[in-house]
């Protein structure tokens, strides 16, 4: 749990520590992520890091909550809630999240590594959070959508999960090749996925 000491810091110092945590945890497994590296990236001593957070797990879980808070604040605006088309909603969400890479270039890596973490010291507590947050995300996403556009056999929730898996897989493949995609490349590939799925999943009159 985050301490009042950390919340009392100026916003820019909080942002630097959060960005440092996203980077180190995003590039490394939890066990291998060094709190010394996080402190160095943030421009503080390791002692101060543990002055703000009681241990490594508390820092990690705070960063996970912060990542969701940042992402939701970026995406869930008034325009998002006015969207009625599933594929427009998916494209809008992806573009808004991509804009976060300017301030938090490792946010995506952090979320992906957290989402697929297994057999790590933090995994048990994290998976409970992910399950609850995933359900909340689905509820927010489907509030205003016109689900009549889908063919009867299509499950929109499953489709959303499928698109997430496809996007994650593309990102991981690029990482394995050692050539992280640019925002433009990611969005171009995601648009191709959406166009293909729309043809497969929508009734003819909605294409």
pLDDT in tens, 178-194: 777 777 888 899 999 99
Q: Look at residue 119 and tell me whether its pLDDT is greater than 60.
A: no
Within 10 Å of residue 71's Cβ, how many Cβ atoms? 19
What's the CA gap between 191 and 133, in Å, rounded?
25
Angle at 144 between CA 130 and CA 153, to 5 degrees: 80
Q: Where is pLDDT greater, at 55 or 186?
A: 55
Angle at 35 between CA 12 and CA 178, to 5 degrees: 90
Question: What's the confidence (pLDDT) of residue 125?
Answer: 67
Contact 1, 62 (CB under 8 A): yes
What's the CA gap between 1 and 59, in Å, rounded?
8
Mean pLDDT score, 164-184: 79
Among the listed residues 106, 108, 70, 87, the one whose alpha carbon sits nearest the alpha carbon of residue 190: 87
Domains (range + CATH), the chain: 4-206 (1.10.357.10)
Q: What is the mean pLDDT of the chain?
A: 88
Exposed/middle/buried for residue 110 (C-beta within 10 Å: 0-12, 13-18, 19+): buried
Contact 21, 59 (CB under 8 A): yes
Within 10 Å of residue 60's Cβ, how many Cβ atoms? 24
Q: How confident is the model at residue 99 (pLDDT cuts 50, 70, 90)?
A: confident
pTM higher than 0.75 for the full model? yes
pLDDT in tens, 120-145: 666 666 777 777 777 777 777 788 89
Strands of 128-182, DSSP E? none
């Amino acid at each position: 749990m985050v301490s009042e000491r950390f919340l009392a810091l100026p916003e820019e110092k909080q942002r630097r520590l959060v960005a440092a945590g996203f980077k180190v945890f995003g590039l490394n497994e939890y066990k291998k992520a060094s709190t010394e590296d996080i402190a160095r990236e943030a421009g503080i001593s390791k002692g101060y890091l543990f002055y703000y957070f009681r241990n490594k797990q508390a820092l990690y879980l705070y960063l996970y909550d912060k990542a969701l808070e940042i992402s939701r604040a970026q995406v869930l605006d008034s325009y998002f809630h006015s969207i009625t088309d599933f594929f427009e909603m998916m494209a809008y969400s992806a573009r808004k999240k991509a804009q976060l890479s300017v301030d938090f270039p490792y946010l995506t890596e952090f979320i992906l590594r957290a989402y697929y973490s297994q057999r790590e010291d933090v995994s048990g507590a994290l998976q409970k959070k992910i399950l609850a947050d995933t359900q909340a995300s689905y509820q927010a996403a489907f509030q205003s959508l016109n689900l009549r556009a889908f063919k009867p056999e299509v499950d929109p929730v499953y489709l959303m999960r499928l698109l997430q898996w496809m996007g994650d897989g593309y990102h991981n493949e690029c990482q394995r090749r050692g050539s992280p995609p640019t925002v433009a490349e990611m969005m171009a590939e995601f648009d191709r996925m959406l166009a293909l799925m729309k043809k497969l999943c929508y009734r003819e009159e909605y294409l």
